[in-house]
A = this chain, B = another copy of it.
Amino acid sequence: MTTPDGEPESFRNRPRRRGAALEEAIIDAVTAELAEVGYAGMTMESVARRAGTGKVSIYRRWPSRLALAIEAAYRLIELPEPPPEPSSLRADLMAWLTAIARQMAGPAGEAFRGIVAESLTQAGQGRLADVTRGTGSEQFRQILDRARRRSEPVRDDLAPLLGQVPSSLLQHRFLVHHEVDQDYIEQLVDDVVIPLITRPHPPTLA
């Protein structure tokens, strides 16, 4: 395998990246692979090749392919800002769920799909419960609080389970249908979430 001349067949004679720089290059490669071929198509070798490094440097930092995807997911996910304050319960809910759906359409969604698949495959227990927790209830509660402050008719005695309903249904839709369209979000908000959390208008219903 002695290359007489031509293309740069080796990275050995090159300024060598270390530490944070290399780490970032690896995560960038993971993100690109997730976007292009998805978690299923992403192999440790393809990530290493793309990052211009070797598998060993990856395994020195993360113990498995799954851990790599989780790390990428954490870095990719950014919690959306709630809309500026002249807003409404419905607008807040739509913005929140739409932002999640948009993230799911990109590499973060591929990572999520892979994490779920792996958590189902491996006998390894519900690391999935950890990953998904938090994303769901916290932001939802904030939206409800904001609506209460605006004196919108949000119930005060909400059952704990309700906090998980929106994100659970969104996730389920994503997993089963591979994507979440705007129509679904609208129905979810108008036909499920709002009816569940608002007090019935006292006189307005015929």
Contacts and interface: CB of A to CB of B under 8 A. Distances in A.
State how many copies of this chain the complex holds.
2
Q: Give the interface centre of A121, A123, A162, A196 by most chain B CB atoms within 10 Å.
A: A121
Nearest to A133: B176
A175 B40 contact: no
B175 A116 contact: yes
Interface string A164-190: 010011011101111000001001101
A171 to B, nearest CB: 6
Contacts of A162: 191-192
Contacts of A190: 159
Interface string A39-60: 1110000000000000000000
Interface of A: 38-41, 113-114, 116-118, 120-123, 125-126, 128-129, 132, 159-162, 165, 168-169, 171-173, 175-178, 184, 187-188, 190-192, 195-196, 200, 205
